Homo-oligomer: A and B are copies of this chain.
Amino acid sequence: MNQPLAVGIDIGGTNSVFGIVDRRGNILYQGSIKTKDHQDISLYLDALHEGLAPLLDKAMGNGDEIKGIGIGAPNGNYYHGSIEFAPNLPWKGVIPLANLIRDQFGLPVVVTNDANAAAIGEMTFGAAKGMRDFIMVTLGTGLGSGIVINGQLVYGHDGFAGELGHVVMEQEGRLCGCGRYGCLETYVSATGIVRTMLELLREKKTDSVLRKLKPAEITSKIVCDAALAGDQLALEAVDYTARVLGSALANFIAFSSPEAIVLFGGLARAGDLLLEPTRKYMHASVLQIWRDKVKLINSELKESDAAILGASALVWEMKE
């Protein structure tokens, strides 16, 4: 068919998913391997090659041309083409991933962090299509972000820009995995909402279906489901999360004045549950000139596809 295609690889702590994608965002071939089964990077690369090479052969057998490989990974650095000190991946230190994969497949390779890849995916195929200024906020175990300004992803002087999960919301707030206190992601993330729920269960007398569970059994999904079913205390946890997120977003707007903020990932999946109150708090907190002006929307990409689409879209952004 002689069309240009791009490979997208999303490296997560548990699984690595990959696919071959056309310019319109159709995933033509896809596969996956276990990330955590390969403690040694060279064994991981062998497994990746074994999974991906047959897909490349199929695509090229059709006469299609593979333009390159885009990779989204935690702590991925765009400038260095590396993964650097990623706490949730099996490989320690600095992994020169772009070089390793370029040598293996003989294709141009571009690396960025997972949230940046999601932002590029959203801009190319999703809710931010055609936008030149927006902020992507990914709500998973932590809070990630990808910032687009003037149609370009913001990498900063060192490739690490957009760590909005580590904006400090409260000087003596909750202890964060980064060693500091009060970071946004300690409140707004899957783990953050569970911490809030546990605090509410301890501090309040209000009845709740969650009182039947042991603290260790409570997940963000359980909190959201309980809130959707009308549980008063779970609704309070959602409201608190929305208030902190809304205030943070109001500050981000003062920085880059985006056209929209796009929410993506686990916590955002519960539809309007988090979106509605967050929007209310955001517009109540934001400087007058932006009130009811900056959009807050959910991602339009299926979560299972988004990682591959975002990573693949990096290839179309590549400077030749």
Q: How many copies does the complex hold?
A: 2
In the complex, A59 has a CB within 8 A of chain B? no
Q: When the two chains form their complex, are residues B150 and A152 in contact, meaning their CB atoms are under 8 A apart?
A: yes
Q: In this complex, what residue of B is CB-closest to A163?
A: B254
Give the docked Cα–Cα distance between A250 and B158 (Å).
Answer: 15
Q: When the two chains form their complex, are residues A157 and B258 in contact, meaning their CB atoms are under 8 A apart?
A: yes
In the complex, A247 has a CB within 8 A of chain B? yes
| Most B CB within 10 A of own CB, among A180, A257, A259, A285 | A257
Which residues of A in the span 129-162 have a Cβ within 8 Å of any Cβ on B?
Answer: 131-133, 147, 149-150, 152, 154-162
In the complex, A178 has a CB within 8 A of chain B? yes
Known: A289-B160, A293-B158. A168 touches B247 (CB 8 A): yes
Q: In this complex, what residue of B is CB-closest to A135?
A: B255
Known: A150-B152, A293-B158. A163 touches B287 (CB 8 A): yes
Which residues of A in the span 145-189 have a Cβ within 8 Å of any Cβ on B?
Answer: 147, 149-150, 152, 154-164, 166-168, 171, 178-180
Nearest CB of B to A125, in Å: 20
Which of B152, B157, B180, B257 touches A158 (beta carbons < 8 Å)? B257
Give the docked Cα–Cα distance between A258 and B163 (Å).
Answer: 12
- Which label, helix, strand, loop or mixed, suits the secondary structure of the A interface? loop
Give the docked Cα–Cα distance between A37 and B83 (Å).
Answer: 60
Give the docked Cα–Cα distance between A1 and B155 (Å).
Answer: 42
Please give, as numbers and ranges, the residues of chain B lying within 8 Å of A149 by CB-CB distance. 149-150, 154, 156
Please give, as numbers and ranges, the residues of chain B lying within 8 Å of A161 by CB-CB distance. 255-257
In the complex, A232 has a CB within 8 A of chain B? no
Please give, as numbers and ranges, the residues of chain B lying within 8 Å of A290 by CB-CB distance. 158, 160
Which residues of A in the span 222-261 have a Cβ within 8 Å of any Cβ on B?
Answer: 247, 250-252, 254-259
Question: Residues of A within 8 Å of B, CB-based: how many?
Answer: 41
Please give, as numbers and ranges, the residues of chain B lying within 8 Å of A255 by CB-CB distance. 147, 154, 161-162, 164, 167, 252, 255-256
Q: In this complex, what residue of B is CB-closest to A161?
A: B257
Please give, as numbers and ranges, the residues of chain B lying within 8 Å of A287 by CB-CB distance. 163, 166, 178, 180
Please give, as numbers and ranges, the residues of chain B lying within 8 Å of A162 by CB-CB distance. 254-257
Q: In this complex, what residue of B is CB-closest to A150?
A: B152
15 residue pairs A–B, Cβ–Cβ below 8 Å: A147-B255, A150-B150, A154-B256, A156-B256, A157-B259, A158-B289, A158-B290, A158-B293, A160-B257, A162-B256, A163-B254, A163-B289, A166-B254, A166-B287, A251-B251
List 15 additional A-B contacts (Cβ < 8 Å) besides A147-B255, A158-B290.
Answer: A131-B157, A149-B149, A149-B150, A154-B255, A156-B256, A158-B293, A160-B289, A161-B257, A162-B255, A163-B289, A164-B255, A168-B285, A180-B285, A180-B287, A252-B255
Sort A-B residue pairs by CB-CB distance and give the 10 closest, nearest first: A156-B257, A161-B257, A157-B259, A133-B157, A163-B254, A167-B251, A166-B287, A161-B256, A166-B254, A167-B254
